[in-house]
Amino acid sequence: MAMIALKCPNIQVVVVDISKPRIAAWNSDELPIYEPGLDEVVKACREKNLFFSTDVEKHVAEADIVFVSVNTPTKTRGLGAGKAADLTYWESAARMIADVSKSDKIVVEKSTVPVKTAEAIEKILTHNNKGINFQILSNPEFLAEGTAIEDLAKPDRVLIGGRETPGGQKAVEALKAVYAHWVPEDRILTTNLWSAELSKLAANAFLAQRISSINAMSALCESTGADVSEVAYAVGKDSRIGPKFLNASVGFGGSCFQKDILNLVYICECNGLTEVAHYWKQVVQINDYQKTRFVKRVVSSMFNTVSGKKIAILGFAFKKDTGDTRETPAIDVCHGLLGDKALLSIYDPQVTEDQIKRDLAMNKFDWDHPLHLQPQSPTAFKQVSVVWDAYEATKDAHGICIITEWDEFKKLDYQRIYDNMQKPAFIFDGRNVLNVEALRKIGFVVYSIGKPLDPWVKDLQVSI
Ligand code: UDX
């Protein structure tokens, strides 16, 4: 919305939320999320044509176009638990729009939703419409965190789906005109509603599938002596495959991939497509396998036990340049190590202690609910400490796990770190960002995903 405000000075944008602290943060000097370049964009338009308000009903009533970006968590109970999207928040948003509207409106699905959600929303709106005309559009967002501003300023494509009726097409044109302020026309794709809804799930499934494919290969590389980076490079040189999204890692995280695939699986099952559901589910299963495999490497290398040993966790965010921890692989890795009674010392340049402890105390899928529905007083983890410096985290540690690829981890003084650690000193690089040879020269026992194994790690191998 901030980008629309920046690129369309003639359009007034009001971002509304029922959470007072969140809106207050958007109106303050400390924005509530960390995203490179976002501060500048918000500050350039705030109070000019970009406003943040809790007066939801007033601004929705006045708007011509309403973008709905409420959360769509994975259901934790009832029909479709663990897979289907919970549309509670979407439904109440639609009912509120219907209640307060006094003029015709275009309602845009911005949240990622199951295919055919628009149909349900349309029913809610039209059954309560008091003679008002509502047009539903699907306009999924493809930005990635950490590069959001760049992705929004120069998108590969903007996708707008609408009804194939004159009213639907008019609404599509109206939204297209907004994006046409800065996006070249040939990059604005228009489709029917269901194609737009499904394309978002499909795009995320394809991206996640690439990561699971290379991660599956990484296990085979470790067994055969191949190097996953060399394999990825050679494979990616095929122009039909391309080089992006082939970095082997401890596993993908983030608010989208797992949730969207589970949702896709559920839709397939609901349509009787068992084999298709099974196929996509494997992408998530390989991701879980990769996280478990990493933990097993750590434990088996350290004489099959980490009980009472200090392990430094460097990085907690799901990727670099963000403070976002939703579905971060760090949570599963920490749980795995805590299960083996390790003592964890965690450092991330952007994630607070409160957030880390809340994440470690939370049940699966709870993160996508409002704060007051998440655990309020996280269990005091006696085994976990959160520190604000990588040197502090690694002091007296037996091992180090790199979980997020923050640039600063490449520049640390590893000799100094080694000197202050217990020996043998281990490093487990879950992101393949460190110089393995240099570390081995210092004296570290090193494990990197999908790379030829250190003789030490090889000798202590367990079945994984
Ligand atoms: C993703 C999609 O990229 C974006 O188009 C969609 O709108 C939202 O979901 P995001 O979750 O912000 O974006 O991050 P992304 O860069 O896709 O990374 C997702 C996860 O995959 C991260 O944990 C990342 O570290 C991991 N990853 C990515 C890999 O492990 N290897 C790779 O090669 C690329």
Does the pTM of the predicted model rise above 0.85? yes
3-state SS assignment for residue 427: strand
Query: Of 280, 277, 286, 258, which Cα lies nearest the Cα of 365?
Result: 258
Q: What distance in angstroms lies between residue 252's CA and the mean position of ligand 1's atoms? A: 7
What is the DSSP pairing of strand 13-16 with strand 50-53? parallel
Ligand 1, CB cutoff 6 Å, lining residues: 141-145, 204, 207, 211, 245-247, 249, 252-254, 256-257, 318-319
Predicted confidence at residue 377, as pLDDT, reads: 46
Q: What distance in angstroms lies between residue 365's CA and the mean position of ligand 1's atoms? A: 18
Q: What distance in angstroms lies between residue 404's CA and the mean position of ligand 1's atoms? A: 12
Residue 282: which residues within 8 A CB-CB, separation 6 or more?
A: 212
Ligand 1 pocket test, pick from 206, 209, 244, 252 with the greatest ligand atom count within 8 Å of Cβ, gives 252
Q: What distance in angstroms lies between residue 461's CA and the mean position of ligand 1's atoms? A: 30
| H or E, element range at 107 | strand 105-109
Phi-psi region of 56 (alpha: psi -120 to 50; beta: other; left: phi over 0): alpha
- Residues 16 and 225: their CA atoms lie apart, in Å, by 54
Nearest residue (CA) to ligand 1, atom 25: 319
- Closest ligand 1 atom to 250 CA: 30
Q: Kindly list the distances between the CA atom of residue 195 and the CA atoms of 29, 138, 191, 300, 370, in Å, as whole numbers in the listed order.
A: 40, 9, 6, 47, 30
Predicted confidence at residue 416, as pLDDT, reads: 98
Predicted confidence at residue 367, as pLDDT, reads: 67
- Residues 87 and 197: their CA atoms lie apart, in Å, by 15
- pLDDT (tens digit per residue) in 290-343: 999 999 999 999 999 999 999 999 999 999 999 999 999 999 999 999 999 999
Nearest residue (CA) to ligand 1, atom 9: 256
- Residues 351 and 315: their CA atoms lie apart, in Å, by 9
Strand positions, DSSP E, 242-309: none
Q: What distance in angstroms lies between residue 254's CA and the mean position of ligand 1's atoms? A: 7
Nearest residue (CA) to ligand 1, atom 27: 252
Secondary structure, 3-state, 194-216: HHHHHHHHHHHHHHHHHHHHHHH
Helix locations, 128-192, DSSP H: 148-153, 166-179
What is the DSSP pairing of strand 158-162 with strand 134-138? antiparallel
What is the DSSP pairing of strand 399-402 with strand 426-429? parallel
Predicted confidence at residue 213, as pLDDT, reads: 98
In this structure, which amino acid lies at residue 163?
Answer: R
256 is catalytic: yes
**Considering 45, 256, 268, 334, which one is annotated as catalytic?**
256
Ligand 1 pocket test, pick from 264, 318, 449 with the greatest ligand atom count within 8 Å of Cβ, gives 318
3-state SS assignment for residue 255: coil
- Closest ligand 1 atom to 208 CA: 21
- Residues 45 and 99: their CA atoms lie apart, in Å, by 30
Ligand 1 pocket test, pick from 113, 263, 319, 327 with the greatest ligand atom count within 8 Å of Cβ, gives 319
Q: Give the gyration radius of the chain's Cα atoms.
A: 24
Find the Cα–Cα–Cα–Cα dihedral 222, 260, 206, 201, rounded to 10°: 180
Q: What distance in angstroms lies between residue 419's CA and the mean position of ligand 1's atoms? A: 35
In this structure, which amino acid lies at residue 213?
Answer: S
Ligand 1 pocket test, pick from 113, 154, 197, 256 with the greatest ligand atom count within 8 Å of Cβ, gives 256
- Closest ligand 1 atom to 260 CA: 9
Instruction: For residue 11, count other CB atoms closer than 10 A to its CB.
Output: 15
Nearest residue (CA) to ligand 1, atom 17: 144
Q: What distance in angstroms lies between residue 127's CA and the mean position of ligand 1's atoms? A: 39
- Closest ligand 1 atom to 141 CA: 7
- Closest ligand 1 atom to 244 CA: 33
Length of the chain: 464
Nearest residue (CA) to ligand 1, atom 26: 252
Spans of the chain, pLDDT less than 50: 377
Q: What distance in angstroms lies between residue 144's CA and the mean position of ligand 1's atoms? A: 7
- Closest ligand 1 atom to 146 CA: 12
- Closest ligand 1 atom to 318 CA: 23
